[in-house]
Amino acid sequence: MTLFTVEAITKPVYDESGWLPLRRITDLVPGTILLEDGDEPMLVIPVVASSPTRAALFVEGILKLVEVEFVSGAIRLADDEEDDEPPVLSPEAEREHTWAESVSLTP
């Protein structure tokens, strides 16, 4: 398993209620950073996964769980390889992670 950093830019947020689902992700996935730019909100999510594709599946699932629409993003190896401990996920996020790791990637 490898530690990835996934950056996810979501649809613009125009009022306070729009931030609530994004803030919920910071509760579901510890270590997540939310950059509150109303025009381009960005989540920076640490993900331990077996591949970049599985890391993307995990983030896509978490965004769907809280009903947040994804616009664009990027995946890269985490800069801080010293911290190999995976984040302690909420039960909902753990189920999503388990699914993302088990789903077949071939058609």
Q: What is the pLDDT of residue 86?
A: 60
**Can you tell me which residue has the tokens 């769980």?**
65
Distance of CA 68 to the CA centre of its chain: 11
Find all residues with CB under 8 Å of 80, minimum gap 6, and list them.
3
Considering its fold, how many domains does the chain have in total? 1
Supply the CATH number for residue 71's domain: 3.30.70
Whether 9 maps to a domain, the answer reads: yes
Decide if 3 contacts 37 (C-beta within 8 A).
Answer: no
Whether 17 maps to a domain, the answer reads: yes
Q: For 70, phi and psi rounded to 5 degrees? A: -80, 135
Whether 24 maps to a domain, the answer reads: yes
Whether 106 maps to a domain, the answer reads: no
- Domain extent, residue 78, equals 2-100
Q: What is the pLDDT of residue 78?
A: 85
**Can you tell me which residue has the tokens 């591949």?**
51
Per-residue pLDDT in tens (0 to 9) along the chain, 107 residues: 889 999 999 999 999 999 999 999 999 898 999 999 999 999 999 998 889 999 999 999 999 999 999 899 999 998 765 555 666 666 777 777 776 776 666 55
